[in-house]
């Protein structure tokens, strides 16, 4: 199995939360590598970005991925 950022413990995704008023504005969606290997602002090709795990020295398989057999 090839390594993919999606299966790494450093992969982070938070969906957008809509605000209710000017006092509770919500927040935008967030997608990044908490290991600092990439961030969404520099991404031009999402598929190629997920393949960066193949050369990442900080890659660690997440517990969720291990449970699904991605090790």
pLDDT digits (tens, 9 = 90+) for 40-70: 876 788 888 899 999 999 999 999 999 988 8
Residue-wise over 14-36: b if at least 16 C-beta within 10 A, else e?
Answer: eeeeeeeeeeeeeeeeebbbebe
- Sorting pLDDT into bands at 50, 70 and 90, what band is 11? very high
Does residue 36 register a pLDDT over 80? yes
Per-residue pLDDT, 1? 61
């Amino acid at each position: 199995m090839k390594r993919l950022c999606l299966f790494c413990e450093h992969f982070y995704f938070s969906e957008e939360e809509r605000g209710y008023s000017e006092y509770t504005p919500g927040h935008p969606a967030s997608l990044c590598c908490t290991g600092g290997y990439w961030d969404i602002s520099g991404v031009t090709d999402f598929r190629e970005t997920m393949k960066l795990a193949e050369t990442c020295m900080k890659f660690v398989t997440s517990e969720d991925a291990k449970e699904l057999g991605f090790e």
